[in-house]
Amino acid sequence: MNTPQTADPFQDTIAAIATPPGEGGIGIVRLSGPQAMEVAARVFAPSSGADPRELASHSIHHGHVTDSASGAVIDEVLLLLMRAPRSYTGEDVVELHGHGGRVPLQAILSAVLRHGARPALPGEFTRRAFLNGRLDLAQAEAVLDVVRAKTEAGLRAAVRQLQGGLSEQVQGLRVELLSVVAALEASVDFPEEGLEFPEVGELEKRIYRIEEELQGLIRRAMEGRLLREGATVVIAGRPNVGKSSLLNALLGRERAIVSVIPGTTRDTVEEEFQIGGIPVRLIDTAGIRQDPRDPVEAEGLRRTRGALEQADLTIVVVDGSEEITPLDVQAWTEPQDPRVLVVNKSDLPAAQPTATHQDRFGVPPLLTSALTGQGVEDLRAELRRLLGGDAEGEAITMVGPRHREALERAERQLITARNSLGEGLSAELVSLDVRAALSALGEILGETVTEEVLDQVFRDFCIGK
C-alpha cells in the first residue's frame, strides 16, 4: 500500500542504496523522512517479535526483510534507527544493512519503494541535512570532497571543512561586517539620539582589514583546487634532454620508454603520483621541435602545446652536457609560470657552468641526473613548495569555485564601499555596498541562496548521499 506524498518534495520519505555498486560483505539501503520508520515497519520483521515502530532511537535490531505479497524472505538484515533530530538529515533515518550485492539490495529498495518511499534524488540526504540546519552549505559541499578525496591530505582538509573550518572564517567576517553596518546605519536611523557619522578613517581601516582576510581566502582557492582536483605537471624540452628518464626518476619506476635515439616520445605519457599530499598528473611530452614536417611529430608537438596550456606547473629540461640551443630557449619561453628549470645529465661533463644557465634563463637551475638520481629529491621538494603541498592539508581551506566567486564579489563590494567613504558619500549608500558584501558571504553558508544554486551544488552527489 502506497502512502500519499506531500506537496513539498523535500518532505517526502526517500530511499536509496547508500553503498557503491558491486559485491561486498554489506550493502545499505537508507530511508529518511517523516514516514521512514512506518515504511520500514511494513517490510522488516524483527527477530525479537517487537513492533518495529516502537523501537528505540539509535538502536540496532536483527531481522528479515520480507515480501508482503508472498511472505518470502528477501534478505537477512540489521536495522539501524535514528530518530529526528539526532540523525544525519535531521529527520527520522532508517538503514537496512543487508548482504552486499546488486540483486538483494535492489530487492530491498524495491520493497520500501512499494510501501510509500520514493527514490532519492542525487545528494538529497545531504540537501535535507542542509535544509534542516544540520549542516551549512559549505559543510554540505565538504561531504562530497570527503567522498572524493584522492590523498590523505585532501581528506584531512575536507574533514576540516566539514567540521566548519571555512564556515567559521566566513561567519567571523560576517560578524565584523555587521558591526560596520550597525555603525553606519545607527547615525542614519537615530539622528535624534545625537549619533554622528562614524569617523571615516577608522571605518576605512576596518573595511580594509576585512578585504585582506577575503584576499587570503581567495588565495587559498588554488590550494583547495589542487587538493580537490589534483595538479597537472608537464615535463617539456627539446628532444633527447632526458625528459622521459626524469619522469621515471620522479615516479621511482620505469614508466616511459627511454632511448638514446632523439624523438622516442611522440605522444604525451601520463602518470599519477603524489607530492606533499597533492595528487599530481605528471605528463611527459614530445620534444619541442622547429617546424616538424613529419605529420606524427607535428601532432606530437600540437599535443605538447596543449598540455602546456593546461599545466599548473612546468618542468623545463635542458641537457647540461650540451650547449644551450635556441630550442632550449623556446622550450623555456612557451609555458607560463610557475616553471622550474632543470639542467639534466649532471653525471656527464658540463658543457657550460651553472652561472651561464642562470644568466640565459633568468632563474637558478636545479641540477639533476635521471641516471644516478642526483638532484631528484631536490626537484621533488621544489615541486612541493611551488604547489603549496608542505602543509599536507592541515591548514588548507577547501575554497571551491562557488566560494571563490562569492568571496571576490564581496571583496569588490567592499572596495566600492571604501571608495565611497573616501569620496564622502552618504552612510546609506556605503551601507548598501557593505550589505551586498554580507549577502555574498551569506551565499557561501547558504543563508542567501536560490533553489537553482542548491540544484547545482547537489547535482554531482551520488544518489545515496
DSSP string, 28-43: EEEEESTTHHHHHHHH
Q: How far is the C-alpha of 212 from the C-alpha of 289, rounded, in Å?
A: 45
Spatial CA neighbour of 437 closest among 184, 199, 201, 202: 184
Within a 13 Å sphere around the CA of 411, how many CA atoms are in the beta-carbon half? 16
Cell numbers linked to 107: 530487492
Q: What is the pLDDT, as a whole number, of residue 465?
A: 83
Q: How far is the C-alpha of 244 from the C-alpha of 254, rounded, in Å?
A: 9
Within a 13 Å sphere around the CA of 420, how many CA atoms are in the beta-carbon half? 18
Q: What is the pLDDT, as a whole number, of residue 265?
A: 47
CB-CB contact of 400 with 164 (8 Å): no
Q: What is the pLDDT, as a whole number, of residue 393?
A: 44
Q: How far is the C-alpha of 119 from the C-alpha of 39, rounded, in Å?
A: 13
CB-CB contact of 416 with 429 (8 Å): no
DSSP state of 349: P
DSSP state of 357: H
- In angstroms, how far apart are the furthest CA atoms of the chain? 88
Q: Quote the crossing angle between the two packed helices 326-333 and 354-361, to the nearest 10°.
A: 50
Cell numbers linked to 39: 515504511
Tell me which architecture the domain covering 141-225+400-446 has in CATH: Up-down Bundle (1.20)
Q: How far is the C-alpha of 368 from the C-alpha of 337, rounded, in Å?
A: 21
Strand pairing report for 278-284 and 366-367: unpaired
Type and span of the H or E element at 332: helix 326-333
DSSP state of 425: -
What is the fold of 9-136?
A: Gyrase A; domain 2 (3.30.1360)
Q: Cis (ω within 30 of 0) for the bond into 85?
A: yes
3-state secondary structure of 236: strand
Cell numbers linked to 328: 632550449
Q: How far is the C-alpha of 328 from the C-alpha of 239, rounded, in Å?
A: 10
Per-residue pLDDT 10s for the chain (465 aa) are 344 444 566 689 999 999 988 888 999 999 999 999 999 999 999 999 999 889 999 999 999 999 888 889 999 999 999 999 999 999 999 999 999 999 999 999 999 999 999 999 999 999 999 999 999 999 999 998 888 888 888 888 888 889 888 999 999 999 999 999 988 887 665 555 544 556 778 888 999 999 999 998 888 777 777 888 888 999 999 988 988 889 888 888 665 444 444 444 445 688 888 887 888 999 998 888 776 666 766 777 778 888 888 899 999 999 999 999 999 999 999 898 899 999 999 999 998 898 999 999 999 999 999 889 999 999 999 998 888 765 544 456 678 889 999 999 999 999 999 999 888 888 889 999 999 999 999 999 999 888 888 888 898 888 888
- Residues of CATH 3.40.50.300 domain(s) within the chain? 234-387
Q: What is the pLDDT, as a whole number, of residue 14?
A: 97
Tell me which architecture the domain covering 234-387 has in CATH: 3-Layer(aba) Sandwich (3.40)
Unique residue bearing C-alpha cell 622547429 = 290
Q: What is the pLDDT, as a whole number, of residue 257?
A: 42
Return all residues near 48 (Cβ < 8 A) that are at least 6 apart: 61, 62, 63
Q: How far is the C-alpha of 360 from the C-alpha of 339, rounded, in Å?
A: 15
For residue 284, the cross-strand partners are 235, 269
For residue 44, the cross-strand partners are 65
Return all residues near 95 (Cβ < 8 A) that are at least 6 apart: 18, 28, 29, 30, 31, 79, 80
- Residues of CATH 1.20.120.430 domain(s) within the chain? 141-225+400-446
CB-CB contact of 36 with 93 (8 Å): yes
Question: At CA 181, angle to CA 199 and CA 442, rounded to 5?
Answer: 145
Spatial CA neighbour of 185 closest among 451, 438, 457: 438
- Residues of CATH 3.30.1360.120 domain(s) within the chain? 9-136
Type and span of the H or E element at 104: helix 102-114
